[in-house]
Structure 1
């Protein structure tokens, strides 16, 4: 009798991907583009400068092992942010605020879970599209898990609405400063140009995401055994038939300070370029305020904080290992080779197909360069001149980059924020992949249609910079490498 196939643990899957990445560095040609520093200190590749490495550098199993602690060091900002958020939320739960909030929300929305799902997806997408929020949603995950559980939903639904919200937001962003503006600057099209189309796409793409998550949620409501995580423990415990405390003035004051903290974080991100270190400081400050307002003694707060951190140890480990995959590819000097090789076929197909090809390339490359701004600096210097050669407006090339980066953020295991969210919610990566892949395909299909129509109707032609096409020799260099 054959044994049923058992999907490996997420940690096993991620480490296996590191091994595959190491083997790929033995096979894929090693090479690189010349690079230059921008005024902001970021490194951008120079088109037409791809060269093969003179000597192949073989990574050894020892380098694979040393990549693990290096990856933890490289991902320390998101790891420590997750620890801080987990600890501070545990303090807030100790005051009864989180349970009181859930009880109040259940009073108002227990009979309308579809409204909750749509509101979370829509508002998260607006925030991500405006200021590039993603990791900032981590504090909401356990709250949404508890709320979904109380509504007879599951943690997969909570993760679905959270990740779909920021994935759609990044994908159709009108003016995300970390993706859209950087890509438009590199492509030499005016900042914020073409915004009308991106604004028009927000609602349709949110509806696609909402339909996917709500369709799954309906199955769970009808039959709890249909849940994809029915056999797993819920990270917030058994909360069935729980008596929630009333939302008193102290709880409201703690929630008010939470909103102020989020507001300060958003202001810092948009005006001063804050990121995870500063956000972590904001939440530490909120944790101290919560301790005082909730009338906890510092020993109680410390115990709760440590327990919250302990609960997220697995999540932190997964985030670190996920970063190791990209690290191996960088060490093996094949990242630029992958970018170069994927771009070659685009010059041999019609413009509409090239636009779709750009979407596919950006989606694949997000596995290796999960940073949105990092991907822009690596790919847009190549895609912009290539789009001129194949007759695709540069604005469309920017849109293809947005779609590829944003939507695939929902599924690539090298995305530390994704691994943090599913880890906190107790959702294994393989089950999340099974849930999210159909949604990704729906969004990609819609994106492909938008891109092809954008080429047909000349989206961005009004802001296309005047370009002097390179002579045949230079085109050959761009397509084949020097």
Structure 2
């Protein structure tokens, strides 16, 4: 009997995508937009300036191979943050704190898994929507995996509630400084304008995410064989419910230290512009604090840290390779060609269809430009004037960008944070794709409806800038 199709390893999938991108650089016409430097020092494309490159840049096989270590260098902030978190959490596990916390949470949520799932999705969406948290969720993954396992759920449920909150928070954010603020600045409309609609749709979209995760969790709870991950090893040691230690004074001090660490990270992000290097530093400090309070000797702490890092080496590898896909396209000068090719047809659609088309375009481009702010600088200078011509207000164009960037973050393999989270939980990408694709479909349908209604009711007309139609026509 013939063996059925076997999904390749995630690393094979990513390298295959890099190879496809490399081949595309030999086939797709190479070109670029002219760019201008904005007041904040970032580069943004200039509409109407796309030209084919005078000379083609053909990448050699050596360029392809060199792109892999270059991708590791480009993604080093996420890679090292993941490794640091793995090491520090291993120290915390050695003190018994994580097991004690899981036992305590079980007392509260054992018979209310639906409440746990809703709270995680809602709170993570709130945090992502407010201050753009993403990689900061990685430390919670192992705790949620252990908790779900003890509640007769699985690792997929833990990852589902984490990423659903993260992606939906970015997609419907009211004031994310890394997406909303940047896109509205580039589109030349007041920062944080149109907030009423984004606040109004926040809860309905969160409920879509909650319903999807809970529907799956109910099936697993009733029949563990329905789990997509029941054949995979759990990243945490096996425990019976009676095997969890009591939450003692030392454990509580360590958890207070974790809360203080997270609060410090949030303050640093919002007030000092910190990102993953600084966040890694504060978690290292928490690891030292945990070692002292947990009364671990230095050698034991060092061994635990190294073991935790070793466990996440494969995750770090995937994060690095994922960055290489965009790197190849940038080197081969085809990224702007794709943006130009996808944005040009929008000017021939009705306003309602064009708004949905903008959303789809942003979704596809997020595969190649996984940075939210980077995508805004490349696409919003094009979407704003196209929208002006066909009757899509710039506020609607920004909303389409948010939907496309945020929701697709939950499924694209070039998203380093996604790869870090599923790697931490031991969930292969192809299984996560199978779980997440229906959720993406639901969110896409809801987003398309919101965009059509936004165009119909002239959302953003109050802040739409007056534009020179002659200049707009010149961009076409």
Tell me the TM-score normalised to structure 1 length.
0.98
Q: How does 1:206-221 map to 2 (within 5 A)?
A: 206-221=206-221
Cα deviations across residues 423-447 of structure 1 (Å, max 9, x unaligned)? 1101110110010011011001100
Show the counterpart of 1:79: 79
Asked if structure 1 preserves the Cα contact closer than 8 Å seen for 2:30 and 2:333, the reply is yes
Show the counterpart of 1:309: 309
Q: What's the CA shift for 1:241?
A: 4.3
Asked if residue 171 in structure 1 is aligned to residue 168 in structure 2, the reply is no
Show the counterpart of 2:372: 372
What SS does the corresponding residue of 1:36 show, helix, strand or coil? strand
Q: How does 1:1-400 map to 2 (within 5 A)?
A: 1-400=1-400
Asked if structure 2 preserves the Cα contact closer than 8 Å seen for 1:94 and 1:304, the reply is yes
Q: What's the CA shift for 1:108?
A: 1.1
Asked if residue 456 in structure 1 is aligned to residue 456 in structure 2, the reply is yes
What SS does the corresponding residue of 1:44 show, helix, strand or coil? strand
User: What residue ranges of structure 2 are gaps of 5+ in the alignment?
Assistant: none
Asked if structure 2 preserves the Cα contact closer than 8 Å seen for 1:149 and 1:239, the reply is no
The two structures, once aligned, show a CA RMSD in angstroms of 0.9
Asked if structure 1 preserves the Cα contact closer than 8 Å seen for 2:103 and 2:241, the reply is no
Separation (CA, whole Å) in 2 of partners of 1:412 and 1:161: 17
Separation (CA, whole Å) in 2 of partners of 1:351 and 1:239: 57
Q: What's the CA shift for 1:230?
A: 1.2
Cα deviations across residues 322-357 of structure 1 (Å, max 9, x unaligned)? 001111011110000000000011111110000000
Separation (CA, whole Å) in 1 of partners of 2:457 and 2:434: 36
Q: What's the CA shift for 1:240?
A: 3.7
Separation (CA, whole Å) in 1 of partners of 2:433 and 2:61: 28
Separation (CA, whole Å) in 2 of partners of 1:341 and 1:3: 41
Asked if structure 2 preserves the Cα contact closer than 8 Å seen for 1:85 and 1:139, the reply is yes
Separation (CA, whole Å) in 2 of partners of 1:464 and 1:388: 9
Asked if residue 407 in structure 1 is aligned to residue 404 in structure 2, the reply is no
Separation (CA, whole Å) in 2 of partners of 1:310 and 1:241: 28
Show the counterpart of 1:431: 431
Aligned with residue 475 of structure 2, among 475, 478, 482: 478
Q: What's the CA shift for 1:291?
A: 0.8
Asked if structure 1 preserves the Cα contact closer than 8 Å seen for 2:194 and 2:395, the reply is yes
Separation (CA, whole Å) in 2 of partners of 1:242 and 1:265: 34
What SS does the corresponding residue of 1:379 show, helix, strand or coil? helix
Separation (CA, whole Å) in 2 of partners of 1:239 and 1:170: 35
Asked if structure 2 preserves the Cα contact closer than 8 Å seen for 1:175 and 1:181, the reply is yes
Show the counterpart of 1:420: 420
Separation (CA, whole Å) in 1 of partners of 2:159 and 2:254: 25
Tell me the TM-score normalised to structure 2 length.
0.99
Q: What's the CA shift for 1:470?
A: 2.6
Q: Aligned in 2, Cα 1:135/1:114: closer, same or farther, shift over 3 Å?
A: same
Separation (CA, whole Å) in 2 of partners of 1:146 and 1:242: 14
Separation (CA, whole Å) in 2 of partners of 1:274 and 1:181: 17
Q: What's the CA shift for 1:279?
A: 0.2
What SS does the corresponding residue of 2:44 show, helix, strand or coil? strand
Asked if structure 2 preserves the Cα contact closer than 8 Å seen for 1:339 and 1:379, the reply is yes
Q: What's the CA shift for 1:27?
A: 1.1
Separation (CA, whole Å) in 1 of partners of 2:298 and 2:242: 28
Q: What's the CA shift for 1:239?
A: 2.5
What SS does the corresponding residue of 1:470 show, helix, strand or coil? helix
Q: What's the CA shift for 1:249?
A: 1.1
User: What residue ranges of structure 1 are gaps of 5+ in the alignment?
Assistant: none
What SS does the corresponding residue of 2:470 show, helix, strand or coil? coil
Separation (CA, whole Å) in 1 of partners of 2:451 and 2:239: 46
